Structure 1
Amino acid sequence: MEYTELARSAADNLLSYSKDQSGWKLCKRTGGVTVHWRPSSEFTGNLYKGEAIIPAKPEHLWECLKPEPGGLRVKWDHNVEEFQLIEKITDDISVCRTVTPSAAMGIIAPRDFVDVVLIKRYEDGSITSNATNVTHQDCPPQRSFVRGFNHACGCFCVPVPGEPEKTQLLSFFQTDLSGYLPKSVVESFFPYSMTNFYSNLTKAVKELKV
């Protein structure tokens, strides 16, 4: 499949995940953030869903989430060390490389991910990022990083009816970290990482308003 088809397929999958309420199990709830999981239908690991209401307009929140080189995301998201644009396919589809630092007290080594990303806007005012792993000739695996693989993942910034200063943020992660990691490490890392993601994002949004 070419990049455009892969990106649109990922967006279709994420929309399906956002609507399907079956099979989710709660794994973490803290500070207004809930994280659920269920077995992934795309690989042998889990699909994780995070949800919270963020005190910001969708467009304002999107400024912090936008996957772009030199954007705000690399400043507040501790799981994103570097973000590179590899190829722009269309105005709303691009191939990108994300570099992540070591995690879990060094048990998880630095990773890099190559994804096709589709930015999609819906009629209700929702803004979404939709991504899935791809290969690209300009971005082969590098010795200093373990190459990980994201399956359909992304974020939904959804307007809250009657609350223009608030946004429901849904986030979906289903990542094959690769390498030789104990299952217990992977399964404890994602819920912890996702709640930190929401906490750091909320702080970033507040600072942006100042």
Structure 2
Amino acid sequence: MDYTALATAAADQLLSYSKDQSGWKLCKKTETVSVHWRPSSVFSGNLYKGDAIIPAKPDRVWECLKPETGGLRVKWDNNVDDFQVLEKVTDDVSVCRTVTPSAAMGIIAPRDFIDVVLIKRYEDGAITSNATNVEHPDCPPQRKFVRGFNHPCGSFCVPVPGEPEKTQVLCFFQTDLSGHIPQSVVESFFPISMNTFFTNLAKAVKELKV
């Protein structure tokens, strides 16, 4: 399996999502976060876009987001129980496993996801994490987890022009949770979950000691 090619294709897809403003519908908005959705073009569910301004430099925000075994993500993101790098393909590409807890009052059982992740840094200071589902011989499906599938997804940490102490964080999710979950539960879960994600991220960045 050509992990690098799959990750690069996912990154190209995410970049197109970030530039294409058509078809988005607002599904949740607070003072600091907006979440939009539109039908996914790659599976039968929806593509979700979360957008927030975090009062910190991109590198500081990235410390809380970067995909690494033993990283900060497990500590602040209540939708991540465990995160492991299964294989380091190159300096910028790795295959990772994410374990998520049960959600929606137990309707959504614990899941695990295997993704190839590409980290890209841009000349303007932006940092992106780009992922899509893959298989890996070291981690076949396990009985106690439902195997979910992330279609091209990821996060953008983008400097805010003229505001060196602020970062625009864009997150894209299009996740096939698998299993027999009512569509209404899925559609209510993601906007709430994404809003909580940004709230917890902002708090983690504020408390970060670097």
TM-score range, shorter chain: over 0.9
Structure 2: how far apart are the matches of 1:64 and 1:172? 17
Q: What is residue 52 of structure 2 aligned with on the other side?
A: 52
Instruction: Verify: 1:179 aligned to 2:172, yes or no.
Output: no
Alignment of 1:3-14 (within 5 A): 3-14=3-14
**Residue deviations 1:117-147 (CA, integer Å, cap 9, x gap):** 0000112110000000001111100000000
Q: Structure 1-normalised TM-score?
A: 0.98
Quick check: 1:30 aligned with 2:27? no
Corresponding position of 1:191: 191
Correspondence list, 1:47-196, <5 A: 47-196=47-196
- Structure 2 unaligned spans of 5+: none
Compute the displacement of 1:2 (Å): 1.1
Q: Which runs of 4+ in 1 moved over 2 A?
A: none
**Deviation digits for residues 24-80 of structure 1, max 9, x if unmatched?**
000000131000000001100000000010001000000000111111110000001
Supply the distance in 2 between the matched residues of 1:84 and 1:57 (Cα, whole angstroms).
26
In structure 2, C-alpha distance between the alignment counterparts of 1:2 and 1:42, rounded to whole Å = 20
Deviation at 1:152, TM superposition (A): 0.2
Mapped pair 1:20 → 2:17: no
User: What amino acid does structure 1 have at the position aligned with 2:2?
Assistant: E
In structure 2, C-alpha distance between the alignment counterparts of 1:55 and 1:173, rounded to whole Å:
23
* TM-score, with structure 2 as normaliser: 0.98
CA shift at 1:97, angstroms?
0.3
Tell me how far 1:182 sits from its aligned partner.
0.1
CA RMSD of aligned residues (A): 0.9
What's the CA shift string for 1:158-192, capped at 9, x where partnerless?
Answer: 00011111000000000000000000000000000
CA distance in structure 2 between the partners assigned to 1:116 and 1:4 by the alignment: 8
Overall identity of the aligned pairs, in %: 80
1:209 Cα offset (Å): 4.8
Alignment size in residue pairs = 210
- Please list the CA deviations of residues 77-101 of structure 1 after superposition, one character each: whole Å capped at 9, or x if unmatched: 0001000111110000000000000
> Where does the alignment leave 5 or more consecutive residues of structure 1 unmatched?
none
Distance 2:83 2:30 in 1: 28
**Match of residue 40 from structure 2:** 40
The letter of the residue matching 1:176 is D
C-alpha separation in 1, matches of 2:167 and 2:85: 27
C-alpha separation between the residues in 1 aligned to 2:188 and 2:194?
11
Name the amino acid aligned to 1:94: S
